[in-house]
């Protein structure tokens, strides 16, 4: 029996839309974005807003794009196993910046996009609000469920 992960199923659905011409016209989101978490919730409860991260799209071809998500963490809060398993972008003054590749596509509605992070079980659903603002929701189910809403401004 062949089994597919959720990521494979989402990617296949998006590619099918693109291949059949049913994807909506893509907005240009190439560039760097500064994001602020509007709120999140996990198995421990509702978490505060204000967490910051970076989002960047380095390449976009029609409805598909690739780029990165990056965030900072104090080195004192990162285990050695996390340091070994994550992609470190830079480290200075006790702060570690992680940068992870992303892959996404526009589909389903005008301005709506989806993306996944390399090595992460979660999914992101986003919307272009205007030329300088996007918003996306991160969804992760399983043993450590998490939901987060992030609003980004073009840098």
Q: What is the pLDDT of residues 73-127, one digit of tens each?
A: 898 888 888 887 778 889 999 999 999 999 999 998 999 999 999 988 899 999 9
Q: What is the pLDDT of residues 29-50, one digit of tens each?
A: 999 999 999 988 888 889 888 8
Provide the pLDDT for residue 53: 95
Of 108, 114, 105, nearest to 138 (Cα)? 114
Half-sphere exposure of 19 (CA within 13 A, CB side): 6
State the pTM of this model.
0.79
- In sign, the C-alpha dihedral spanning 86, 89, 92, 95 is negative
Phi, psi of 19 (to 5 degrees): -65, -35
Provide the pLDDT for residue 22: 53
């Amino acid at each position: 029996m062949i089994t597919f992960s959720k990521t494979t199923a989402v990617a296949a659905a998006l590619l099918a839309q693109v291949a059949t011409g049913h994807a909506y016209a893509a907005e240009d989101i190439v560039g760097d974005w500064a994001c602020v978490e509007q709120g999140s919730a996990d198995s421990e409860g509702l978490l505060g807003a204000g967490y910051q991260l970076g989002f960047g799209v380095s390449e976009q071809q029609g409805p598909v794009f690739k780029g990165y998500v990056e965030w900072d963490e104090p080195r004192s809060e990162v285990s050695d196993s996390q340091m070994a398993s994550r992609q470190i972008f830079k480290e200075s003054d006790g702060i570690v910046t992680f940068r992870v590749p992303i892959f996404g596509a526009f589909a389903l509605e005008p301005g709506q996009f989806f993306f996944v992070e390399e090595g992460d079980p979660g999914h992101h659903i986003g919307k272009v609000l205007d030329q300088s603002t996007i918003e996306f929701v991160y969804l992760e189910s399983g043993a450590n469920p998490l939901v987060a809403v992030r609003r980004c401004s073009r840098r």
